[in-house]
Amino acid sequence: MGLSIAAGVAFWDHAPEGARGAPLLLVHGAGGTHLHWPETLRALPGRRVLAVDLPGHGQAPLPGETTIAGYAGALLGMLDALGIPRAVVAGHSMGGAIALSLAMDAPDRVAGLFLVGTGARLRVAPAILEGSADPARAAEVAEGVAAFSFGPSTSVADRAAHARAVAALPAGVLHDDFAACDAFDAMARLGSIRAPAFVVVGEEDRLTPPKYAAFLRERLPGEGLLLVPGAGHMVAIESPIEVTAAAAAFLDRVSP
């Protein structure tokens, strides 16, 4: 399963023989990469899974995008290049905003929404937004973000590794992501979404708290909300077994 690039998006295409249903598209959050999804989900048995690095992130070429719609457009370009008509879109944090945007603006392409640690509106704390605009404060902002990204059981070493990865992003990419999140507001538009949705949130998520997940659950079609005790904003890698099982069950319901 090697790296490919289409429409500025880097992707790893896990395509087991006899894979059934619509492919699962894994979309990471602000400053993230495909590694913010657990291996168990990126290599889900019996399903085609496309795990991406968004433009400007990880192994994808620069530049990044500056809006949620821009990232959604890049993903549509990738799906077009691969000849994939419809996907179940899993989005974490900013990736959830991108998934919602796809479901609203390209409904024919979205067979389902698996929304993890995200919300219909993603205002960013001014200290994070402003700090991320200053390259001299990259390490400090990365440490702050990492400190708020995990539940209490994540080790100091794992938090530090996360902070280093965020601090190593090319200048401007993290700030552009946060600005894209801050400008995103789909609260009044969720009613137009027809794709069935499943919502996942860590009980200790301080960046997109369970209140945001409850709002999505109330207003989107489908059923199911997984509240993971002890997990924070990085719930998918903090609790990979629970989140992978929920995704597999959701896929079996919406795209058998």
The number of beta carbons lying within 10 Å of the beta carbon of residue 18 is 5
DSSP string for 165-201 = HHHTSPTTHHHHHHHHHHH-B-TTTGGG--S-EEEEE
Instruction: Compare residues 49 and 201 and give the one whose CB is closer to ligand COA.
Output: 201
Shortest distance in whole angstroms from residue 254 CB to ligand COA = 23
Q: Which is nearer to ligand COA, 77 or 219 (CB)?
A: 219
Cβ at position 53, least distance to ligand COA in Å: 18
What is the x/- site pattern for ligand COA, positions 112-151, by CB under 6 A? -------xxxxxxx--x-----------------------
User: Which residue's Cβ lies closest to ligand COA?
Assistant: 119
Which one-letter amino acid corresponds to residue 17? E
Q: Which of residues 5-64 bind ligand COA (CB under 6 A)?
A: 30
Where in 210-249 is the site for ligand COA (CB under 6 A)?
Answer: 211-212, 215
Upstream peptide bond of 85 is cis (omega within 30 degrees of 0)? no
Tokens of 24: 């699962």
**Those residues with Cβ within 8 angstroms of residue 97's Cβ, 6 or more apart along the chain or in another chain:** 68, 91, 118, 119, 122, 180, 181, 184, 186
* Footprint of ligand COA (CB under 6 A): 30, 93-94, 119-125, 128, 181, 207-208, 211-212, 215
